[in-house]
Amino acid sequence: MNAPAPVTEPSRRLQRAANQRLVALFGKFPGERSLTIIVVILLTLGSFWFAGPRGEAHTPVESSLIAQMPEAPQIQFADPEPTANADISTESFQVTEGEVDTSEAQVVPDLQLQPAPVDDQPTTLGGILPDNRILAFYGFPGNPEMGMLGEYDMGRLLELLREQANKYEEADPSTPVVIAFEVIASVAQESPQVDGSYLLDTPASVLNEYADFTFENDILLILDAQIGYRTVENDVRGLRPWLAQDHVHLAIDPEFAMDEGQVPGTHIGSVDATDIQWAQQWLIDVAEEEGISPKVLIVHQFTQSMISNKDQVAPMTGVQLVIDADGWGPPDLKRDAYNFVNNVTTIEYAGVKLFYNLDVPLMSADDIVNLDPAPLFVMYQ
C-alpha cells in the first residue's frame, strides 16, 4: 500500500473553493419538507402507473393460475337423440375456450376469516363424507379436449379410475375411496345460442347412459353445471330427473357464470354466496322429497372473485359442501392455490382438481393426502 501524498496549501485552497461552490449549488434545492412532499407525490403517481387499469389486480396465486390457461381449440360434438323427457337441448355442440381476459375479473379483497372449528359445523348423517374420499374423472364424453371422460369409453375409464383409487387407498389406508364420473351437463359457449344462455345442454340420452352405467357399477355420477347467462337456479332445476337418483350429485362451475357483456372462455365468471345457499337448500329438499341419501355439492374455484361474499357460505345440515381448488400448474402453485381456496373462509370439505397433461410434474397421491386439510374430494381432468 502507498502512503497518501502530502497535502499542499494550493490544494487546500482549491478544495475550499470547490466546497463553497457545492454548498451554493445545494442551497438552490428545495428544503427537507418540500423534498419529502415531492418524493411522496412521485411515488404515488408511480404506483398508479405500475398498477395498470382498474380491475386487473389479482393476488399472486390468481395471476399465476390465470397465466397457466392456454387457448383451447374449437370443439364440435355429435348430435345424439335424447331418451328422457327433460328440458335438454339436442343441438350440436360448439365449444370454444379462448384465452382468458382478466380485465373484467373483479377480485374481492383478501378475507382474514379463519375456518370454523369442526365442532361448530352441522353434521349430515348418512352422507358420503367425511368417512370416504371421492375420486372423480371429469370431462365431456367423446371429446378428449375436455377431460378424461372424452378420452376413453366408460369401461376403460372405470379401469383407470380404479387403478388411481388404489394409489389413494395405499397413501391413506384410513379413508376408503368412492369413485365417480363428473360429466359436464351444460356446456358454456362463446355465442348466445337460441335462448341467449351461452350454453348448450348435454343431451338427455348421454346423461341417461352415464346414469345407468354408474348405477350398475356402484359408482357416483356428478353433473357439472356451467351456468352461462342462466341463473344457478334455472340451470340446475333442469337436472332434477337425474338428481332424484340416489347416486347422482351436483357441481357448479362459477368460471362460466357470466354477467351482462361477458363471454364464456374470455371472461372469468362468478356466483354469489346466495346462489350456493340456494343450491344447498334445493338439494336438501330433493333428497327429502325423494327419500334418498344426502347430496354432495361441489363448487369449483381458482380466483377469489369466482365466489362473491364467500364468507357467507357455510355448511347446512342435509347436504355436504365441497369447495374444489381448480387450476393447473406445478406443485408449489397447486399448494398455494389449495391454501388460497380452502384455508381462508369457513369450508365444510376441501377438494382439489388435478390435470394429467398440464400439471408438470403431477402431484402424487401421497402429495395430495398430505395437504392441510386433507382433501376429501379429488378430481382429475
What does each C-alpha distance from 19 to 8, 15, 22, 137, 143 come to in angstroms? 17, 6, 5, 78, 79
- Looking at residue 34, its pLDDT comes to 62
- Looking at residue 100, its pLDDT comes to 38
CA 205 to CA 79: how far, in whole Å?
A: 10
- Looking at residue 6, its pLDDT comes to 40
What does each C-alpha distance from 359 to 143, 294, 324, 327 come to in angstroms? 20, 33, 16, 9
- Looking at residue 155, its pLDDT comes to 96
Q: Decide: helix, strand or coil at residue 178.
A: strand
User: Can you give the pLDDT of all 381 residues of the chain as single tens digits?
Assistant: 233 334 444 445 555 555 556 545 555 556 666 656 666 566 655 544 444 433 334 444 444 444 444 333 232 323 333 333 333 332 333 333 333 333 333 323 333 333 344 445 555 667 999 999 999 999 999 899 899 999 999 999 999 999 999 999 999 999 999 999 999 999 999 999 999 999 999 999 999 999 999 999 999 999 999 999 999 999 999 999 999 999 999 999 999 999 999 999 999 999 999 999 999 999 999 999 999 999 999 999 999 999 999 999 999 999 999 999 999 899 999 999 999 999 877 689 999 999 999 999 999 999 999 999 999 999 999
Whole-model pTM: value is: 0.72
- Looking at residue 41, its pLDDT comes to 65
In SS3 terms, 131-150 reads as CCEEEEEEECCCCHHHCHHH
All structural domains of the chain: 60-380 (3.20.20)
CA 207 to CA 250: how far, in whole Å?
A: 13
- Looking at residue 344, its pLDDT comes to 77
- Looking at residue 224, its pLDDT comes to 98
- Quick check: 297 and 321 in contact, CB under 8 A? yes
CA 370 to CA 338: how far, in whole Å?
A: 12
